[in-house]
Amino acid sequence: MNLFNGGDPQISGGAAVIASMPIDYGTSLTILGGSSLQVANYETAGGAESYYYSNPGYGADPYAGGAIVQTGGVNSTRGLNIASTSSFNSGSPFPTNGSYSLSGGSLTVSSVEAIGSAGNGIFAQTGGTNTITSGGILYVGKNSGSTGTYSLGATGLLSVAGYWEYVGEGGMGTFNQTGGTNTTPGNLVLGYASGSSGNYSLSGGVLSATTYEDIGYSGAGFFVQTAGTNTTGNFRIGTLGGSTGTYTLSGTGSLTDTSYELLGDYSGSNGNFIQSGGTNTATGLYLGGRSGATGSYNLGGTGALNLSGSEEVGEAGTGTFTQTGGTNTVTGTLTVAADAGSSGTYNMQGGTLAAGAIVVNSGGAFYAGGAGSPVAITLTGAQPFQNQGLTDISIGDPILNGDYTQTDTGETLFELGGPDPNVGYGQLTVYYGTVDLSGVIETDYFNGFYPTIGETFDLIVASDGITLNPDFAGMPEEPGFTYALIDDDTVFQATFTGVVPEPVTGSLLLVASAGMMMRRRRKQVA
């Protein structure tokens, strides 16, 4: 059956069995209820004639467009190509245009469904069912230079029973879901090949990819969710080297991962998660998976992050978690800079954080406060907040519910910008817990503040007491300060005396200066 010669044919009843069906020359085929169409090979809507795309000298094919409109009935085919080929214009590829509109009935594809194989393809589904059977693949924006758009809404059902659903496999793909259901037992991949781009917008309906979702596999992937539900088995943003991916979650959107979420997997990858609302639920969260990978998470507004396992900010690579609001709940351990050689930073400027335990390793930094908003940290397990790296306490009333322990490699730095706690300078308040100190306590100034002689700063207040261990080195980089435990050892108080100790000389001076410069740089970088 060859529908080349103009007109807009309809299939309105009975059954048609044909070998192949190209819809070109501006033709539109309509499939109505009560009809059945079975195509043994491929259906194409929008493809250039072979003498156009094989011979650049012929110029562009002026009749390459085509459309299929299905309002009911049954359409069954081995393959479907929307905008399947390009012609040429002055020696350059000239993309064709094709479209498929499905508002009722059923479409079944047993092999490949390509929306924008080599041209500009559009699939608009507001009803009916689009089923790609086991072994089949969906491509939206298949080849380099192509663009594909899939719109799913209302009561439409897309079922990809095969293993792969690509949005931007080699070209540029866009999937807009305002309703309906998109389900696959396999993988959803945005931005598969290097140079490709995949975009998914979810503002309603249900999305389910049982095995994996890759947002930026080797190319660029972008996922924006404002509502609806997204459920997957494993979740990666920025997978292979050179890839980049961003997931933005807001509104009432719900993301559920039955396993882990990994932001930045292989060396050279970059994964980002931005959450201002909605709920993100997973077993574990890992930022900067392998050495050389980078991952970041920004949590604010009313967003809720719920992890039944652990959270690692900087697993073996570089991770950054910035929290300005919302809730971050970790049943297991939150670790900053998990593996040797990794780098991790947790910037907590607002919201609440609850974790079974918190560990800041060497190479890790935890910043609490700084924006003037209350910061609440609660330990829900038996383990303490353990600082082996840097913990920075700034204004905003940072409160820890649980124990705080600092090892001999740890440093707690307090920001001084005025005479009053939490408003002018950072104070760590520990409720229902003890403070056990080794390592050092340091201060840094901001807002042009400098203390007067005799001025005191209650840097730590702990309801159940403070212990200074034998390897506590005091405040070695703070000339002019003395310290003491007061109020039955529940307050660590620093007093500015204005007396600067005699400077050390020789190699000791070099070591001390290097240590101070290292701390200042670390502070500035964060």
Q: What backbone phi and psi angles, to 5 degrees, belong to 393?
A: -110, 120
Question: DSSP letters along 188-206, please?
Answer: EEES-STT-EEEEEESSSE
How high is the pLDDT of residue 26?
A: 62
**pLDDT surpasses 90 at 125:** yes
How high is the pLDDT of residue 59?
A: 38
CA-CA distance, 367 to 184, in Å (whole number)? Answer: 41
**pLDDT surpasses 70 at 49:** no
- Exposed / middle / buried, residue 341 (Cβ in 10 Å: 0-12, 13-18, 19+): exposed
- Exposed / middle / buried, residue 517 (Cβ in 10 Å: 0-12, 13-18, 19+): exposed
How high is the pLDDT of residue 260?
A: 95
143-173 tens-digit pLDDT: 999 999 999 999 999 999 988 999 999 999 9
The mean pLDDT of 316-337, rounded to a whole number, is 98
Widest CA span in the chain: 101
The mean pLDDT of 94-110, rounded to a whole number, is 87
Percent of the chain with pLDDT over 70: 85
Strand 491-496 relative to strand 481-486, pairing: antiparallel
CA-CA distance, 208 to 228, in Å (whole number)? Answer: 11
**3-state DSSP of 329-344:** EEEEEEEECCCCCCEE
182-224 tens-digit pLDDT: 999 999 999 999 999 999 999 999 999 999 999 999 999 999 9
Given a contact cutoff of 8 angstroms between Cβ atoms, the answer to whether 22 and 44 are in contact is yes
Question: DSSP letters along 13-49, please?
Answer: SEEEEES-EEE-TTEEEEE-TTEEEEEEEEEEES---
The mean pLDDT of 471-484, rounded to a whole number, is 90
Q: What backbone phi and psi angles, to 5 degrees, belong to 380?
A: -100, -5
**More confident site: 236 or 521:** 236
Question: Can you give the pTM of this predicted structure?
Answer: 0.90
Given a contact cutoff of 8 angstroms between Cβ atoms, the answer to whether 31 and 9 are in contact is no
DSSP class of 134: T
229-249 tens-digit pLDDT: 999 999 999 999 999 999 999
11-27 tens-digit pLDDT: 766 777 887 777 765 66
Given a contact cutoff of 8 angstroms between Cβ atoms, the answer to whether 156 and 125 are in contact is yes
The mean pLDDT of 95-107, rounded to a whole number, is 88
389-435 tens-digit pLDDT: 999 999 988 999 999 999 999 999 999 999 999 999 999 999 999 99
Which pLDDT band holds residue 89 (cuts at 50, 70, 90)?
A: very low
How high is the pLDDT of residue 195?
A: 96
Average confidence score pLDDT of the chain? 87
Give CA separation, 117 vs 49, 99, 168, 170, in Å: 15, 12, 10, 9
